[in-house]
Structure formats: C-alpha cells, structure tokens
Chain A
C-alpha cells in the first residue's frame, strides 16, 4: 500500500466514506453499497480496503463506531461522523473540487495553455 496510486486511492476512499456517513450513520456493508450506488456502480470498492479505511478514520477520531441493533435485529457496528470528521469532510470536499477544476482546465487546455 506504499505506492502513490494506492495512497491517492485511499485518500479518495476516505473522502467517499466521510461523505457517505455525512448523510446518516451506517455500518460497513451499507457504506460499501452506498459508494457503489452513488458512483453509479462505476467504482467497485475493495471490501478489505473499505474496512481498513473505516478503522483508520476511527483511529484518527474522524468517525466513531458504535454497536447498534439493525432493523433485522442484528448487532452491527455503525459509524458516524465526529465533529472533527465533519470539519475534515468540508475541507477535503473544497480541496477536491479545486483539484477537479484544475484538472479540468489542464485536460481541456489548448497548446498555448489556455482553456
């Protein structure tokens, strides 16, 4: 997991999970489903990577895990955003948008560098 491609992917995954949990607390399975659905099934997230990301976020106190009873009566570990997580989400979203805008300009630019 040391090379830049995965790091970038992990960062992206973190952001997606923070976004997912911004709507409502959810467990890992639901988060995975949400990511797939939200990306219109374009992104097929590796489950193991997703759980690792969730636990790392928890360790960084951006999200907090809590055991709750689901609608089906089972105990599941549900994650919710902490205040720090919410702030991080906000910062990351704006940074991501800047990045996307910049990439957009770069990719649509003419030979003189004007978009």
Chain B
C-alpha cells in the first residue's frame, strides 16, 4: 500500500537492535586488532606474539567495546525516534496525495462518513439536552431537586401532583426547613415590549428562586424585594432581549407591559437559561399576591395547585433527610385539609429529565433516543462502506503490497498506511460533520425541543463528540483491511498478482456489504412503520372536522374590559367575519378543542355517583361553552334533539347538550333527551338536555373517551377574558389567516388577537410521528444510497477482477445472458443475505419500537414488502453498470492485458 514505486530506503535496512549493534562493534574492533597483527607479522613478528602485542597496545578492549555499544545504542534510539516522526509525516503526506489522486473515492468516503458523524453528534447533543443534562447555568445541578406531591385519591388510587397549593409552600417556608426552597408558576400572558403585543410564557418566582439555582444575570440584577420595590420588576430572557430589544444594554429601567400592567426591566438572564425546566421562558416576574394573571385570593385557595417547588439542601443535609423533612411538613399540611390524607408524602425528582424516574419520558425524548440509535446505524453503514472501499483497494494492490513486503517494508508500516488514510478520511469527515451539525443542528432542535429553546454554550463538547466519533470510525474501518494485510502470505500474493483475489479479502468485503444492506433494511422498515403510524394518526376521526377551521384567540385583559364589552366585541367581530368571502360559519367559545378543557363537578339528580366514570375507562365530563353555530363550524353532527339557538339566552331556561357516550352512559335507557343535571354545584338549576351530539375526541389519541357536554355561551358566567372565535372557511385556512385577522382587528385594536388554523393545535399530538417519519425516512434513504454505493463498489470490483475469466468465457462462446446472470447472481446472494439479516433485525428492534407506533404492527407485512422491494431495486441499480461492463468485456483486450 505504499504509493511510491521505490520502496523506502530505511525500510530495506535491517532493524536496529542491540544484537546487531554489539556484533558490529565487535567486528570493527576485531578488524583493528587483525590489521595490527597483520602489520606486525609482515614486519617479522611471529603470529602469537603479534596478537599479544596488538591486544596490549589497544588497552582495555572490553571497556572500549562497552563504551562503543553504549554510544551506538543511544544514537540508534535517537535516530529511530526522529526518523519515525519524519516517516509518519511522509506517510501522512503520501496518504493525502493518494487520496487526492482518487477524488471520487475520497469524496464518497468522506461524504458518507460526514453524514454518519454529523447525524450522530447532532443527535447526541439533542439527547444530551433532552435527557442527560440538567438545565444550563444551575450551580451544582445534581443537588437541586423538584418536589412532587404524592396523595391518595378517593376513587383513583394515588396521584402524584407536580405542583402544590401556595398555602403549603407558605407553610413549608415558614417552618424553616434545612433546605432552601423556591417556587414558580408559569403564566401564559400577553406581553408588549415594543408596539406589537404577543403571547408570552412568563414565570412568576418566589424570592429565593435565582439564588437557589445559583444563576447570575448577564446584565442588571435579579429581584430582591418581592413585595415592595421589586413587585413590578421583570427579568427578560436572553432570547427576548436580543429579539425584541436588539440586545441593547440600556434596557435596564425600561418599562414593558405584561397583561395590563407595567413592569420595569431590572435584568437579563444568561443565554439559553430556562429556569429549572426545559421549556423556554420569555420573562420572569416576582410572584406576589397581586401578580397579574392569577385569580384574586389565589394564595389561600387550597385546591389551587399551581406552585412548582424546587429545593436545595443545606450543607450536610442528605437527600434522604431532606425528603423525610419535606414529607413530614406535607403530611401535617395534608392532614389539616378537609378529608385529610394520612398517606401524603413528598417525592424528590432530579432536574435531569432522563433521571426523572416517575415522569414517563416525553414522546420527544423517546423519539430522540430512537434517532440516536438510528444515527448510530447510519454511522455503522458509513464505516462499513468506507472499510469496504479500503479493503477493495487493499486487494487491488496486493501485488504491489507483496513486492513492498518482499523488499522488507514492515507489515506494521503498511497497516499504518491504511490507518493514516482512514484518519485523513475521518478528519475531513469530522470537519464537514461539524459544519453540517452546526447547520442541521438548529433545525433538529426546533423539531424536537420546545420552540425557542437555545443550545447552552458547549461547543467544546460538540467538538469532542465529533472528534471522538471520527477517531473511532477511522480505527473501526482500519480493522478489516489491516487484518487482511497482516495475514496475506507474501508468496501467494506475488504468485497470483492482483488478479486472484484471496477468499479471505472478498469474504470480509461480502460481510461488510451484508451489514450495510441489513442496516438499510432496518432503517427502511423503521421509516415505513412511522409513515404508516402518521397516516393512521392523520386519518383518525376526531369527531371535529378541523381541516378548514381557523381559531381566533382574543385576550381582553383582566381590567380593561368588562364582560359586556367583550361580548359586544365578539358579536361585532363575528358579524364582520360572516361577511368575509370564503367564510361559511362563525362560532364563539370559551376555550378551544385540544386546549386545556374545563371541568366542574356534575351532579345527576337522585344519584350519588356518576355511572361509568373512572371504571369503564371514561374520563370525568368536561364542557365547552359555545355559541349556537359551534357545531356547524366544527363539523359536529347532532345525533338527536336540537342545537343551541338564540333563544337560549342568559335569562332563558338553562339547557345543555351532551355527547353520545355521555347520553348512553348516564341514561342507558336511551331517554337522555329532556333529562336534566346540575353543573358546578347540586344547588345550581338543573339543566335540561335539549340535544345529543356525536362524540369528539379530547386528544387525538385518547385511550379513554372523555365525556363531554356543551353549554350555551350566554348561560355561562365568564370570569376569564380570553375568548375564541372559530371560523369555518371554504378555502384553505392558511390563505384566510390575514383577512380574518384584519376583520377582527378592524372592530377594535385593543385586545390581543392571534389567528391560527385549528390543525396547528393538533401538531403537538402528531409530532412524534412526524418527527420519526422525517428522520427515519431521511436516514433510511441515506442508508440505502450508501449501501447501494457499497454494493456497487463490490460488484464493480468483482467484475474487474474477473475480466480475464469473463473474457475467456465470452471467447469460448458463452452467451452474454449467462455472463449477466453470473454477475447479477453474485450481487443477489449478498443482497438476499443482507435482507434476511436486516428483516430479522427489524423484527427484533421493531418490538421495542412498538409503543411509539400508532395502530401499526411492528411486523406490518406491507412495510416489510416495500422496504425489501426498495432494497431489491437498489441492488438492481448497483448491478446495472458493472453488469453492462461485464457483458461488454472484449476477450481480445482482456486476454492480451495479462
């Protein structure tokens, strides 16, 4: 594998060793004595005397011998080191030149590796962020824990709350536990930084929060005195600061509007800081009694669980002790509540998502783990492919290699040459992969992480991952060709020349091809399973027909608008929307499907409990407050009875519409119409059921149907000033967003208005499959292409090796079809083995994929058929050119060339 035709000069010398040096010194000194003896004898001294004299003249011969050996050994060692270094550089240059001479080969190898490495490092940084790392900037994050509140639930076993009522938080802090405690509550608010209001995630924090986490602001400070001077202060996220304020340093002291109130900017959080969670936050404000967005008296409401609690133990306090102390306080508090829970306890959870044992992994996290596995497969394919290319080259150059070895070039040196070539390829790939990861990384981040999440700054970590992957790949792809090199018997190679490929070499190559084909099959099956799942999810009947519905969210603020003003606004806006061309129906609602729904107690007259609920896997009834046109707008069909009308006004008799399952479950005799039930309290007026509407799903993939009922909007007290309008369009909703928005804001510019297609609300539910499909398909295609290239390389090489044989066959009159068949057969066998291995692997891996699939068997025959079909087509493509060349072998040319 030495590129230069002249073998290395040093390599021809015998290796320097102690024995050789000793013998050389002995010979040199012996020559000296012998010469002196010869001279003395020539001058007439007899031989015995001459030798004695010569030895005596020289002095201490043994001492001289030792001195000379020592000097020579030292010199040999020194020059060996310097020459080795020089050799390494020479070889490295030679390998680089060798690669430059074959740009196509180098490009394929580098591109393949770069994709594999890039995919892996990107996925690693994602998995790292999603699962393995605590949120950034937290001092000693392993010590910080989240508190979970575990309670017995009267009918449904135990429930673990992630939040506590403020009342307990107050009790806990007043008890002065041996750990630092802080609480937060997230608020979805409208925020106005410049002129344009926008929806924002605001986190209200208790005083110790930032100090507990140990984070420092980039500019300004964090709030100190929550209840007095800092009560209306705000800390901006780095992203918001750069996006809306251009990162100006003079923002401190500036006023911004959150909800209806003015807040003064006092600081900016570090870049990528997301508090103790992973979701991005726009701004942090102090949590006080009068924090906007919280209902009046929220601090004393004992069922209002809204405070997430984090804690950090004082020095010397073990987690166990902290847990025991927290539980003691929580138990005492719980028992003091009505129906006191005597089994209440606190659980501690890590801030690192992957370590959070009770929280099931989010779908994103599970998909990310799968993507990591998939990208490892891609890297394996890439390494196998490049190893194959190296192997083919090694076989191709066997004669040359044999000549080098016969001339004394060490096998180690030849192996080193392969390794240097691998390292070059790996190094180049790493550079491209790093660029690729920088470019593709943010894209994948946006897909997998909550919107606006920023990478915390660890470029060295990414670089280290890329470097390690490149080095690992380079070493891995050296192994097979190097083994071949070390085992090749020199004589065989010299005798056969480049023509007779050794069995061992081609077997290794075949194995590599089979590995590639198998991995490609696995990935293609994975793609297919995700595609099918996504299709099935998309085809689900939700009840709602949402594909032509736009939602308009309006936020009127707590203080500025009273209910009458909001109602008038919505009525005017609805009227205007009805006048828009392309709009068929307009309805109003208190909340939107697939947004958090509202649940209040329901009482059936004369019964003590709700039949079926909680037992037949039915969810507790939740309600929508809607305007009469809601059912038509959402595409819900009335089963029986009537819908709402304008007559169902605030002063009219209380009415209700229930869904089919609720009617069937509560009134199994089929006489639900005309029955009545109480909503909110058993003292409320009994609402008469006037209609039954078809079921709708609470979440697209709900396992248990949640019972649903609908109240006339006019008959519901509306405390909240956030409202929805729903617009059914005849055109594609996307094209209607701007006109709808314009129509609503024309009524009044005061409320905050957001317009979005209802299908967008479904996006989070289908995200795992969309994501899985996108990446599996991308990687599957990539893997197939790489495997095809690998297969092509092997077959093309085989044809080149068999030129002579094919030439003879053709000369002897073999029909071209038979030549074609023999080429296709050799490819077909490899492919078939690869397919079998891959299909088996897909079955095994698919079982683990099961819980990520939606109503799709991991052994779906159609998916397997299509995946294997693609591989067969790819094999045919890989065969085409070599087969064509084989058929066109000219016997005269191929035979003469020998």
Contacts and interface: CB of A to CB of B under 8 A. Distances in A.
Q: Do these two chains interact?
A: yes
Interface of A: 27-29, 32, 46-48, 51-52, 55-56, 58-59, 67, 72, 74-77
A28 B68 contact: no
A27 B58 contact: no
Contacts of A47: 32, 57-59, 64
Interface in B28-76: 28-29, 31-32, 34-36, 38, 57-61, 63-64, 67-68, 71-72, 74-75
B31 A27 contact: yes
Interface of B: 24, 27-29, 31-32, 34-36, 38, 57-61, 63-64, 67-68, 71-72, 74-75, 78
Given A59-B72, A59-B74, A75-B27, A48 B60 contact: yes
Contacts of A72: 38
Contacts of B29: 51
A2 B63 CA distance: 17
25 contacts: A27-B28, A28-B28, A29-B32, A47-B57, A47-B59, A48-B58, A51-B32, A51-B64, A51-B67, A51-B68, A52-B67, A52-B68, A52-B71, A55-B68, A56-B71, A58-B72, A58-B75, A59-B78, A67-B24, A75-B27, A75-B31, A76-B31, A77-B24, A77-B27, A77-B31
A36 to B, nearest CB: 12
A52 B71 CA distance: 8
Contacts of A32: 32
A71 to B, nearest CB: 11
Contacts of B57: 47
Nearest to A28: B32
A52 B27 contact: no
Contacts of B74: 59
A28 B30 CA distance: 11
Contacts of A56: 71
A112 to B, nearest CB: 47
A28 B75 CA distance: 19
Contacts of B67: 48, 51-52, 55
Residue in B38, B68, B74, B78 whose Cβ sees the most chain A Cβ within 10 Å: B68
A72 B29 CA distance: 17
Tell me the interface secondary structure of chain A in the complex: helix
Contact of A74 (B24, B34, B72, B75): B34
Given A28-B31, A51-B68, 4 more contacts: A48-B67, A52-B67, A55-B71, A77-B31
Contact of B75 (A59, A76, A77): A59
A76 B24 CA distance: 10
Nearest to A55: B71
A74 B27 CA distance: 11
Contacts of B61: 48
B74 to A, nearest CB: 7
Given A55-B72, A59-B75, A48 B32 contact: no
A48 to B, nearest CB: 4
Given A51-B64, A56-B71, A46 B28 contact: no
Tell me the interface secondary structure of chain B in the complex: helix
B78 to A, nearest CB: 8
A29 B64 contact: no
A47 to B, nearest CB: 5
Nearest to A74: B31
Contacts of A76: 28, 31
Contacts of B68: 51-52, 55
B31 A29 contact: yes
Nearest to A76: B31
A104 to B, nearest CB: 34
Nearest to B76: A59
Nearest to B38: A72
A59 B31 CA distance: 21
A59 B72 CA distance: 7
B71 A59 contact: yes
Given A29-B35, A59-B72, A72-B38, A51 B60 contact: no
A41 B71 CA distance: 29
B708 to A, nearest CB: 93
A59 to B, nearest CB: 3
B28 A77 contact: yes
A46 B27 contact: no
Nearest to B34: A74
Contacts of B72: 55, 58-59
Contacts of B78: 59
A40 to B, nearest CB: 19
B58 to A, nearest CB: 5
Nearest to B35: A29
- Sorted from nearest, which 3 A-B pairs have the closest CB atoms? A59-B75, A48-B64, A29-B35
Nearest to A53: B71
Residue in B35, B67, B68 whose Cβ sees the most chain A Cβ within 10 Å: B35
A6 to B, nearest CB: 14
Contacts of A75: 27, 31
Contacts of B31: 27-29, 74-77
A29 B36 contact: yes
A30 B78 CA distance: 29
Nearest to B67: A52
Contact of B28 (A48, A51, A52): A51
Nearest to B60: A48
A74 B28 CA distance: 11
A65 to B, nearest CB: 8
A46 B35 CA distance: 16
Contacts of B36: 29
Contacts of B75: 55, 58-59
B331 to A, nearest CB: 83
A77 B32 CA distance: 10
Contacts of A55: 67-68, 71-72, 75
A76 B35 CA distance: 10
B28 to A, nearest CB: 5
A29 B57 CA distance: 12
B20 to A, nearest CB: 12
A91 B61 CA distance: 33
B253 to A, nearest CB: 74
Contacts of A48: 58-61, 63-64, 67
Contacts of A77: 24, 27-28, 31
B64 to A, nearest CB: 4
Contact of B64 (A52, A59, A67, A74): A52
B790 to A, nearest CB: 49
Nearest to B57: A47
Contacts of B28: 27-28, 51, 76-77
A34 to B, nearest CB: 13
Contacts of A51: 28-29, 32, 64, 67-68
A56 B67 CA distance: 10
A58 B78 CA distance: 12
Residue in B24, B31, B78 whose Cβ sees the most chain A Cβ within 10 Å: B31
A74 B33 CA distance: 13
Contact of B59 (A29, A46, A74): A46
Contacts of A52: 64, 67-68, 71
A59 B79 CA distance: 9
A75 B31 CA distance: 8
Contacts of B58: 47-48
B412 to A, nearest CB: 26
A52 B74 CA distance: 13
B43 to A, nearest CB: 14
Contacts of B60: 48
A97 to B, nearest CB: 29
A55 B71 CA distance: 7
A55 B21 CA distance: 12
Contacts of B59: 46-48
A16 B709 CA distance: 114
A82 to B, nearest CB: 13
A108 to B, nearest CB: 37
A72 B31 CA distance: 11
A72 B63 CA distance: 28
Contacts of B24: 67, 77
